[in-house]
Amino acid sequence: MHETSIAMGFLESLSQLLEREKAKKVVKVRVRIGKLSGIVVDSFVFAFDALKGQFKGLEETELVVEESPIRYRCNSCGHEFTVETVFFPECPKCGAVDLKLLSGEELQVIDAEIEV
């Protein structure tokens, strides 16, 4: 379960943020995880919650996850669209398969609320 190592690295980064900002604790952190990122959201949340007690100032941190949809732009007609499946998408407007991925692979911090 690689979500555990991702959560551990994420918690270590939050711990460094506390040191750098000379803050007491992280109250809440929001992250965006794309459906193509390879991360199982429930496993990531479970690992985060299980491990956060090992870090001073993160014991009560609330994790909020926003899932990012799989979104493409058709290089033929310019139409932007969202899909649920990752298998061989095609443009619903013109049927082309020459697509540019716009979102879905993200793993990013949106913001963090800290207490100083």
Q: What is the CATH number of the domain that holds 23?
A: 3.30.2320.80
Please give the torsion angle defined by the CA atoms of residues 80, 84, 90 and 91, in that order, rounded to the nearest 10 degrees: -30
| 4 marked as binding residue | no
**Mean pLDDT of the region 19-27:** 97
pLDDT for 86 equals: 76
Task: Please answer whether residues 54 and 83 qualify as being in contact, where contact means their C-beta atoms are separated by less than 8 angstroms.
Answer: no
Specify which residues 81 forms β-bridges with.
72
Model confidence over 33-63: pLDDT tens digits? 999 999 999 999 999 999 999 999 999 999 9
Neighbours of 23 (CB within 10 A): 15
What's the total number of domains in the chain?
A: 1
Cα distance between residue 10 and residue 16, in whole Å: 10
Give the pLDDT confidence of 105-114 residue by residue, as tens digits: 999 999 999 9
Residue 79 marked in a binding site: no
- According to the annotation, is 77 in a ligand binding site? yes
- Ligand-binding site membership of 33 (annotated): no
| Residue 2, annotated as binding a ligand | yes
**CA distance between the termini of the chain:** 34
The range of the structural domain enclosing residue 68 comes to 2-115
